[in-house]
Amino acid sequence: MDYESLFAMLSEHGMESWSTLLKKQLDDYFISINHGDYPRWKELIETLPDLTPSKIDFNSASIVIGTDNDCSTEQQAFISQKLKSLMPWRKGPFNLFGINIDAEWQSNLKWDRLKDQIEPLNDKLILDIGCGNGYYGWRMLGQGAGYVVGFDPTLLFYMQFSAFKKYLPDAAIDIVPLGIQSLPRYPLCFDTVFSMGVIYHRRDPVEHLQQLINCLNPDGQLVLESLIIDSNDTDVLEPDGRYAKMNNVWAIPNVNTLTSWVKDAGFQDIRIIDVTKTGPDEQRVTEWMQFESLADYLDGKDENKTIEGYPAPVRAILVAYK
């Protein structure tokens, strides 16, 4: 991946020190990468045919890059085969040259719940922590974002993103395959920071929020999404073992506790913009994600409970400001 545009953008916006640090971190990462599938995935991306998309749409439910008229039937079948080698597809949907990638999560539903409730993204510099394969980043570009920088340590998600970036190399979006711990301790200068589906995986949620506020300009916007306990009787659920078969779920707050965490980290003007129970229309098994999904995580006799007996997943989105 060519990161020169990213490094230049950071330097132009007063983040020269981070540009230099990030270049070294990425050089070190790709030199020492130790993942058995990486050579195969890298070759897969390199062998995708060189095509020019005639249509681009980041504002539809499915990210559209190209149409089936941009390639031959044989090329489309080849691309589809290669993309299926990058399963499971967790976030989506995408449509690449007429190939409909029906991901596990219908991420467009969450985007629709938040896009009109946040500050406009026009010309803004965006940092998306835990960005997955970049679905939301492309939607941010559709809302006019100036540049989107995604952070996610899962190499498979980075490779999925790379398949799309191959066809839009000049798009103002990049994903860095590193975790939040790689962010510098000195302040950064982003206008909006997204953190969706991350905070309950952090041992210290307030520390996570303090890392996020350190990335924002004065008056910068935080968009935070978290699992919650939809109850006033439980402040925080600390699962004993797994939650909905997920490990590393340390603490699931109720809305009041989540708001308190955000306030304690130094944010203000906090408002909850959505609370929604996760349903099978939003998260499910598909042709592109053939492993277990929501239905397997819930009690077979009571859909209001997880298989471990905890309350079923409910998610809240809030907006706050530095």
Tell me the H-state helices in the chain: 4-12, 16-32, 38-47, 73-84, 107-114, 135-142, 155-165, 205-213, 255-264, 294-297
| 1, pLDDT greater than 90 | no
Q: pLDDT, tens digit, for every residue of 167-206?
A: 999 999 999 999 999 999 999 999 999 999 999 999 999 9
Amino acid letter at 144? G
| 309, pLDDT greater than 90 | yes
% pLDDT > 90, the chain: 99
Residue 29 CA, chain-centre distance (Å), reads 20
Amino acid letter at 253? P
CATH of 4-321, one of 3.40.50.300, 3.40.50.150, 3.30.1330.30, 3.30.1010.10: 3.40.50.150
Q: pLDDT, tens digit, for every residue of 271-303?
A: 999 999 999 999 999 999 999 999 999 999 999
Domain boundaries of the chain, sorted by first residue: 4-321
The whole-angstrom separation of Cα 303 and Cα 313 is 10
pTM of the model: 0.97
